A and B are shown apart, each in its own frame.
Chain A
């Protein structure tokens, strides 16, 4: 049987042992709130008809992007997906550039040529790829790992993907290649339990996704993906391994979408009891409660964070709405370099 290390919720009493100070903890909370409120704005703008095209929200999964990003160095590289707004915000891509991209504006991360599904692409912030093809980022991340190894760099590559990706050929080919080449790649599966509308129970027959990865000879973790500190502390440990050159590592983060697959999807196919159960494990509420328990946050401080984020988002929405769209005549220059 494949060996998988399981990491459950970490009690707040452990935070100090992990060397997590007040500033770091509050930064993590702030980032999670930014993602949450940002995505709620996207949803609102969509229903107001101010955003067109698909937007796949990161609501409910905030702990994963933030927990991973906080464990990385600036020079590390992330391969994101079409559900990537959260990855971008966690890596400090300005929210206004992400929203402008979602709106197809010239001031967006990709000048409006990518849209929501590629809005996370920002080379400057270490996110060169956000793919809209499920599973495809996996072999790309393996090649990136090969490159940094070849160039003698100590950077690590993190590939995010969902549970749907683990049934693609790219997943299997990519994991095997990473294990064979021993690339410094961290595979992060955001297991939100649904491949679009279909529950994982209908698409997956193995013991767990983490166990499947372990079959390729890759050390594998199964982590409570709604606990930002569980994700963070596991990633810290993994990144050390990767920098030592010990080969790839896999981390399944078990989580749940707060909403549907895309902003248009009401998620009618999910049983009410299941949804209610998961809403009780909301990553932001849990983390806020823990910080209060530790005396790091109180209601007043939480209210201030919310107010600051909302005010910033007011500015972000206004700026993105008013941004121009690239003239069609300028598109040709982006097809070829030479």
Chain B
């Protein structure tokens, strides 16, 4: 039987393989070494690679990413972990104003091959300050790559590519998915290229572009809609920056309808950028208005019931598609 791994296990395997392959790869962050990460993504790495390569840090997010910038400039390939995406705000000077720009503003003298791994915990009843998902902010930082894996198999291949990439990569994982399910993850070496979207399901009637956690919701919706005779093409964005508009636009040219579903709040989210690009380049192909399914423009509510209402899910996607494909 094909080997199956969870999201966390697949990430762990990616880190392990890259650390074995290249001794310049080091990991640091809060509780990543002795504890193996709060979500066990770095479990066992300290034991295999030792305390010089897997390092616990103080709670100093700005210094963690700053140190990653410095280490990357001097020839290492650091993978820094920021425990929650919410804590990225503390690191943005280093990530946005240094990592993303040093190559450009030095006239190409520098490269900053670092990865900042983080996760968002929407759906885990963590309240307003431990659940935020705001990858679109980082679209305003050319020079930075933003990767959003949706499945264990993709997570492994994308993380390996991110570590090997010569540019800084913000790698946003979904905490809810870490231990939720397992799927087949190949044992042999594979890489998934950054900057490419992935057509997860072929369809003819409508395109649904989904991101991270919502990809699974979109696939479930597509399954249910198929039973009703609606053929849905599901595209997993995978990399938000640089964004693969080409895959999305060629799909829209075929299906003539577009739904975008993701976990950001609606205003200024990834869906806004995707919609704008489609409007710019393929408006004449659309038979219906673009529909964006996001969380509402409000902080994440705490209560599990309210949080569920706040989140995009398969039901909401089915409803939206049904309205568009009459």
Structural contact, B98 and A140, CB atoms closer than 8 A:
yes
For residue A238, give the distance in angstroms from its CB to the closest CB of chain B. Answer: 19
Given A142-B66, A177-B57, A177-B60, A129:B166 Cβ within 8 A: no
| B279 in the interface (beta carbon within 8 A) | no
Residues of B within 8 A of A180 (CB): 58
| A96 in the interface (beta carbon within 8 A) | no
Structural contact, A338 and B167, CB atoms closer than 8 A:
yes
| A311 in the interface (beta carbon within 8 A) | no
Q: How far is the CA of A114 from the CA of B93 in the complex (A)?
A: 17
Q: Which parts of B195-234 form the interface with A (CB within 8 Å)?
A: none
| A260 in the interface (beta carbon within 8 A) | no
- Neighbour of A139 across the interface among B62, B78, B242, CB < 8 A: B62
Residues of B within 8 A of A110 (CB): 105-107, 109
For residue A100, give the distance in angstroms from its CB to the closest CB of chain B. Answer: 11
Per-residue CB contact flags for chain B residues 132-157 toward chain A (1 = under 8 Å, else 0) read 00000000001101000000000000
Q: How far is the CA of A181 from the CA of B142 in the complex (A)?
A: 32
- Neighbour of B105 across the interface among A114, A144, A148, CB < 8 A: A114
Structural contact, A173 and B62, CB atoms closer than 8 A:
yes
Structural contact, A136 and B70, CB atoms closer than 8 A:
no
Q: Which parts of B29-46 form the interface with A (CB within 8 Å)?
A: none
Q: How far is the CA of A157 from the CA of B71 in the complex (A)?
A: 12
| B257 in the interface (beta carbon within 8 A) | no
Q: How far is the CA of A334 from the CA of B109 in the complex (A)?
A: 9
Residues of B within 8 A of A245 (CB): none
Structural contact, B107 and A170, CB atoms closer than 8 A:
no
Structural contact, B75 and A151, CB atoms closer than 8 A:
yes
| B88 in the interface (beta carbon within 8 A) | no
Per-residue CB contact flags for chain A residues 139-151 toward chain B (1 = under 8 Å, else 0) read 1111111111011
| A181 and chain B: residue at smallest CB distance | B55
Q: How far is the CA of A77 from the CA of B110 in the complex (A)?
A: 14
- Neighbour of B52 across the interface among A136, A144, A150, A331, CB < 8 A: A150
Binds B, one of A38-46, A115-123, A193-201: A115-123
Per-residue CB contact flags for chain B residues 63-75 toward chain A (1 = under 8 Å, else 0) read 1011111111111
Q: Which parts of B81-125 form the interface with A (CB within 8 Å)?
A: 90, 93-94, 97-98, 102-111
| B165 in the interface (beta carbon within 8 A) | yes
Q: How far is the CA of A337 from the CA of B112 in the complex (A)?
A: 9
| B274 in the interface (beta carbon within 8 A) | no
Residues of B within 8 A of A122 (CB): 109
| B26 in the interface (beta carbon within 8 A) | yes
| B165 and chain A: residue at smallest CB distance | A338
| A7 in the interface (beta carbon within 8 A) | no
Structural contact, A147 and B105, CB atoms closer than 8 A:
no
Residues of A within 8 A of B97 (CB): 133, 136
Given A151-B74, A151-B76, A118:B105 Cβ within 8 A: yes
Structural contact, B26 and A150, CB atoms closer than 8 A:
yes
- Neighbour of A111 across the interface among B55, B57, B107, CB < 8 A: B107
- Neighbour of B63 across the interface among A129, A177, A335, CB < 8 A: A177
| A247 in the interface (beta carbon within 8 A) | no
Structural contact, B66 and A337, CB atoms closer than 8 A:
no
Q: Which of A77, A140, A170 has the most CB of B within 10 A?
A: A140
Q: How far is the CA of A77 from the CA of B143 in the complex (A)?
A: 24
| A101 and chain B: residue at smallest CB distance | B107
Structural contact, B104 and A113, CB atoms closer than 8 A:
yes
Residues of A within 8 A of B68 (CB): 143
- Neighbour of B66 across the interface among A123, A139, A331, A333, CB < 8 A: A139
Given A110-B109, A177-B63, A170:B70 Cβ within 8 A: no
Structural contact, B143 and A139, CB atoms closer than 8 A:
no
Given A136-B97, A142-B63, A129:B143 Cβ within 8 A: no
Q: How far is the CA of A20 from the CA of B302 in the complex (A)?
A: 68
Structural contact, B67 and A140, CB atoms closer than 8 A:
yes
For residue A326, give the distance in angstroms from its CB to the closest CB of chain B. Answer: 8
| A114 and chain B: residue at smallest CB distance | B105
Q: Which of B65, B74, B103, B109 has the most CB of A within 10 A?
A: B74
Structural contact, A334 and B103, CB atoms closer than 8 A:
yes
Q: Which parts of A32-75 form the interface with B (CB within 8 Å)?
A: none
Q: Which parts of A133-192 form the interface with B (CB within 8 Å)?
A: 133, 136, 138-148, 150-151, 157, 169-170, 173-174, 176-177, 180-181
For residue B1, give the distance in angstroms from its CB to the closest CB of chain A. Answer: 37
For residue B58, give the distance in angstroms from its CB to the closest CB of chain A. Answer: 6
Structural contact, A334 and B104, CB atoms closer than 8 A:
yes
For residue B157, give the distance in angstroms from its CB to the closest CB of chain A. Answer: 16
Per-residue CB contact flags for chain A residues 211-226 toward chain B (1 = under 8 Å, else 0) read 0000000000000000
For residue B281, give the distance in angstroms from its CB to the closest CB of chain A. Answer: 19
| A108 in the interface (beta carbon within 8 A) | yes
| A109 in the interface (beta carbon within 8 A) | yes
Structural contact, B63 and A173, CB atoms closer than 8 A:
yes
Q: How far is the CA of A188 from the CA of B35 in the complex (A)?
A: 35
Structural contact, A143 and B62, CB atoms closer than 8 A:
no
Q: How far is the CA of A110 from the CA of B55 in the complex (A)?
A: 34
Structural contact, A337 and B103, CB atoms closer than 8 A:
yes
| A331 and chain B: residue at smallest CB distance | B104
| A255 in the interface (beta carbon within 8 A) | no
Q: How far is the CA of A335 from the CA of B102 in the complex (A)?
A: 9
Structural contact, B143 and A177, CB atoms closer than 8 A:
no
| A131 in the interface (beta carbon within 8 A) | yes
The 10 closest A-B pairs by CB, nearest first: A143-B70, A139-B66, A111-B107, A143-B67, A173-B63, A147-B74, A337-B166, A173-B60, A144-B70, A140-B70
Q: What is B's interface to A at a CB cutoff of 8 Å?
A: 26, 52-53, 55, 57-58, 60, 62-63, 65-76, 78, 90, 93-94, 97-98, 102-111, 142-143, 145, 165-167, 242
**Listed A/B pairs (14) with beta-carbon separation below 8 Å:** A111-B108, A114-B106, A114-B107, A123-B106, A133-B93, A136-B97, A139-B69, A142-B66, A143-B66, A147-B73, A177-B58, A177-B63, A334-B103, A334-B104
List 6 extra interface pairs beyond A118-B106, A143-B72, CB under 8 A.
A118-B105, A121-B105, A142-B70, A143-B74, A147-B74, A174-B66
